[in-house]
Copies of this chain bind each other. A is one copy, B any other.
């Protein structure tokens, strides 16, 4: 196994067995390939007798999205495992433990989380996770603060920036989030029933200016080590545990991109509730749960980030200049709002969609969810630089849910 090749199940078991102290000597191991085959092989290796298990994740040298396939660097496995290790140190318990990384095979051995569910699926099914806002705000505050110039040695940070230069994965984001939805690109994908909405996106100059500013920041602002793809499909959850997975898009970028991603995906679910909830009361109730979660994520993040800053005055001037901290937090909120909007829009007209909306079987309900998500997304993008409170984002969501009728 000295050269890179996609592993088979037998090899995966052999590697798992070679790890010290995981499985009992001579245990009968089984392997199940549980990846979707689009980007990675994912082997679930277990000893059914002892009930022990782990995951082997191997990067494939290509990406497949919605039928298209293009070559993709194996280096993303290094970035992913290194990001998981960093995040695990900064936010203990909130990412899977990494047991080993093999650079030649682009292979990460990590904790098995099959007792958790993918959060997107959990939300679609109406699950509630009262600890989630606390967990994710800690994850965001700790990973973003301690990888930024506010919370770590600024010379070491520059070496970290170098280590996480991630051109190919960033290119995917730059194209699919910050370009294609705003022009008649071949990669776009949307139901013909909302072609009118797509055409509005392609011709809205005010929107293009705001997206250009958000794109510029994504391209240039090395503010903190981001997860880079923090949607609800990148989160394993159960009532008492939250685990952030799959940071292969990690790079140094604007903090608001991560915070906005998680809020956008809660709002996408919010937009889809007309279908998923049995009646109006249930829908109202679940929407209010989602809104409460969003409010808690921001307010807890804001409080935790400020507290870390107070406790760790790494940078003399940035910790003492009057008004600087408030100005910084205001800009973080504005970025969060702008990126949340961008992440919503791309999931409706761009290449990759979300199950919350795409899996609505009824065409009319699906169309309504799409129009509502676009309405919220566009407004968030347009107001981002004027936002002063998370309540403004919430009001946009609630007002849109009232005004965009099925």
Query: B167, A318: Cβ atoms under 8 Å?
Result: no
Q: In the bound complex, how far is the Cα of B153 from the Cα of A171, in angstroms?
A: 11
What are the residues of chain B within 8 A of A162 when measuring CB–CB? 162, 165
A380–B328 CA distance with the chains assembled, in angstroms: 22
Question: A178-B317, A322-B209 known; A170 and B149 CB under 8 Å?
Answer: no
Chain B nearest Cβ from A187, distance in angstroms? 13
Q: Which residues of B contact A168 (CB under 8 A)?
A: 155
Q: Is A276 an interface residue (CB 8 A)?
A: no
A165 to B222, CA, bound (A): 12
- Residue from B178, B220, B315 in contact with A222 in the complex, judged by beta carbons closer than 8 Å: B220
B321 x A212 contact (CB < 8 A): yes
User: Is A158 a contact partner of B183 (Cβ separation < 8 A)?
Assistant: no
Asked if B215 and A317 make an inter-chain contact with CB atoms under 8 angstroms apart, the answer reads yes
Chain A, interface residues (CB within 8 Å), range: 35 or more
A346, B149: Cα distance in complex, Å: 22
For the complex formed, measure the closest distance between the CB of A320 and the CB atoms of chain B, giving whole angstroms: 7
A49 interfacial by beta-carbon distance below 8 Å: no
With A and B bound together, what is the CA distance between A315 and B327 in angstroms?
A: 30
- Report yes or no: A216 in contact with B149, Cβ–Cβ below 8 A: yes
Interface centre among A155, A170, A178 (most CB of B within 10 A): A155
Cα of A165 to Cα of B315 in the assembled complex, Å: 20
On whether the beta carbons of B170 and A165 are closer than 8 Å, the reply is no
Residues A321 and B165 in contact in the complex (CB < 8 Å), given A149-B216, A149-B220, A221-B220? no
Stoichiometry (number of copies): 2
**Which B residues touch A216, using CB under 8 A?**
149, 318, 328
Q: A209-B324, A317-B212 are in contact. Are A170 and B158 (CB under 8 A)?
A: yes
Is A398 located at the chain interface by the 8 A CB criterion? no
**What's the least CB distance linking A106 to chain B, in Å?**
20
Contacts of A209 in B (CB 8 A): 321-324, 327
Q: How far is the CA of A213 from the CA of B179 in the complex (A)?
A: 29
Which chain B residue lies CB-closest to A326? Answer: B209
What is the minimal beta-carbon distance from A117 to any residue of chain B, in angstroms?
35
If over half of A's interface residues share one DSSP class (helix, strand or loop), that class is named, otherwise mixed; here it is helix
Q: Which B residues are CB-close (under 8 A) to A206? A: 322
Interface flag for A219 (CB, 8 Å): yes
| Cβ-defined contact, B321 with A208, below 8 A | yes
Contact status of A155 and B171, CB under 8 A, knowing A219-B149, A316-B183: yes
CA distance A167 to B154 in the complex (A): 8
A185 to chain B, nearest CB (A): 9
- Which residues from chain B contact A219 at a C-beta distance below 8 Å? 149, 154
Candidate in A149, A156, A216, A222 with the most chain B CB atoms within 10 angstroms: A216
State A321–B219 Cα separation when bound (angstroms).
Answer: 16
User: Quick check: B318 and A215 within 8 Å, CB to CB?
Assistant: yes
Q: Is A223's beta carbon under 8 Å from chain B?
A: yes
Known: A149-B219, A155-B167. 9 other contacts (CB 8 A): A155-B170, A158-B165, A158-B167, A161-B222, A179-B316, A183-B317, A208-B321, A215-B317, A220-B223
Q: List 15 A-B contacts (CB under 8 A).
A: A149-B216, A159-B167, A161-B165, A162-B165, A183-B316, A205-B323, A206-B322, A208-B317, A208-B321, A208-B324, A209-B323, A209-B327, A211-B321, A212-B317, A215-B315
* 9 A-B pairs with the lowest CB-CB distances in the bound complex, closest first: A212-B321, A208-B321, A155-B167, A205-B322, A158-B167, A162-B165, A212-B324, A149-B219, A209-B321
Interface residue ranges, A against B (CB under 8 Å):
149, 154-156, 158-159, 161-162, 165-168, 170-171, 174, 178-179, 182-183, 205-206, 208-209, 211-213, 215-216, 219-223, 315-318, 320-324, 327-328
